[in-house]
Amino acid sequence: MSAVTPARSGPPHGAPGAGPTTQPYRGPRPGGPGQQPYPPQGPPPAPYGPPPHGYRPGPPNALPPAAPRGMRPPPPPDLERRPRPRHAPRRSGNPAVTVVVPTRNEARNLEVVLPKIAAVRPAVHEIIVVDGNSTDGTIETARRTLPWVRCITQTRKGKGNAMACGFEAATGDVIVMFDADGSADPGEIPAFVSALIAGADFAKGSRFAKGGGSEDITLLRKSGNAGLNTVANALFGTSYTDLCYGYNAFWADLVPMLELPDPNIPQPEDGTMIWGDGFEIETVLNCRIAAAGLKITEVPSIEKERMFGETNLRTFADGTRVLRTLLSEHRRADKRK
């Protein structure tokens, strides 16, 4: 069984591209009169004949002239850099952080959320947007807003499948689960990572831990969450204070142990969801982490209101699915003892 401990402060976690190159002058294009010459840059090679009238050779490896005053400067480095490739996740005091963002018609929210994640310091390694066949241009908006973001399309439907696709694509050492609706604060990411560096296997966000809070949860959802917390803690010997909150982080080397549904399995023809593909994904993770006896640290988090659009949550249907998940995961854990 896994005890849940409050977060402790830990040490903080922590590309430039090559500049343009000039092309040497190559003289007039062969092929007859009327064709335009190459731009006059650099010394002309002998085989192409003399340079055109007015040609002035520049110094070797000359840089292009500075942009005239008043022109728009290039975007900040954080908007153009590419994530470093990594071959295998590792645990260290300076992990590379992957942020997985599941989306479905979240274009307007991403215009705000992605730059905020990119502005987090220490900088994250990569952001993966996993889209659920949005119709509002979510992927196009993500790429326009943050050119180095990675965008993939989930293989089935449901938040759980989107998360599994993102986990499989992640190349960082730490994976952060992050909602696209603007309710989560990217500025809290370092606190989650610090909890992992301090020794936790799983950093569990909590709106009800000391220092946490919510501007969005209704009384009905709060009461349902409290009841589900009680059931989960009784079944798994944990002390969760916020079972249903989706802002979490964990070491990427735990992904195989989670045994989530294979993203490569096709969507059932009858349209039903594979178990683990829906909003029960947070509960599945919480249960399997606890059943494995891993160290869990709760991190206080403040939930904000959704910025744009309507929530995909269904209070009663999703609450019932979470309860079924708790019972199913408890039976699964018993069989593996």
**Whole-angstrom distance, CA of residue 139 vs CA of residue 144:** 9
- Between 281-291 and 219-236, two packed helices, what is the crossing angle to 10 degrees? 30
Residue 257 lies in a domain: yes
Q: Which residues pair with 299 in a beta bridge?
A: 205
Which strands make up the sheet holding 248-251, listed edge to edge?
Answer: 4-6, 296-300, 202-206, 248-251, 174-177, 97-103, 126-131, 150-153
Write down the pLDDT at residue 40.
Answer: 45
Write down the pLDDT at residue 85.
Answer: 55
Write down the pLDDT at residue 324.
Answer: 92
Write down the pLDDT at residue 285.
Answer: 96
Q: How does DSSP classify residue 37?
A: B
**Whole-angstrom distance, CA of residue 100 vs CA of residue 315:** 24
Residue 67 lies in a domain: no
Residue 191 lies in a domain: yes
Write down the pLDDT at residue 212.
Answer: 94
Residue 237 lies in a domain: yes
Number of domain units in the chain: 1
Residue 36 lies in a domain: no
Write down the pLDDT at residue 321.
Answer: 85
Residue 95 lies in a domain: yes
**Whole-angstrom distance, CA of residue 168 vs CA of residue 301:** 26
pLDDT tens, per residue, the chain with 337 residues: 566 777 654 444 554 444 444 444 344 444 444 444 444 444 444 443 455 555 455 444 444 454 454 444 444 545 555 555 555 778 999 999 999 999 999 999 999 999 999 999 999 999 999 999 999 999 999 999 999 999 999 999 999 999 999 999 999 999 999 999 999 999 999 999 999 999 999 999 999 999 999 887 778 878 888 899 999 999 999 999 999 899 999 999 999 999 999 999 999 999 898 989 988 899 999 999 999 999 999 999 999 988 987 766 666 677 788 899 999 999 999 998 8
Write down the pLDDT at residue 77.
Answer: 47
Q: How many CB atoms lie within 10 A of CB 99?
A: 27
**Whole-angstrom distance, CA of residue 231 vs CA of residue 283:** 12
Pairing of strands 97-103, 150-153: unpaired
Q: How does DSSP classify residue 318?
A: H
Write down the pLDDT at residue 219.
Answer: 83
Write down the pLDDT at residue 165.
Answer: 98
Residue 167 lies in a domain: yes
Residue 45 lies in a domain: no
Write down the pLDDT at residue 257.
Answer: 95
**CA dist list (Å): 185 to 178, 179, 300:** 9, 10, 11
**CA dist list (Å): 315 to 102, 157, 220, 225, 321:** 19, 19, 8, 10, 10
| Structural domain range at position 312 | 4-9+82-335
Write down the pLDDT at residue 217.
Answer: 76
CATH number at residue 224: 3.90.550.10
**Whole-angstrom distance, CA of residue 326 vs CA of residue 242:** 14
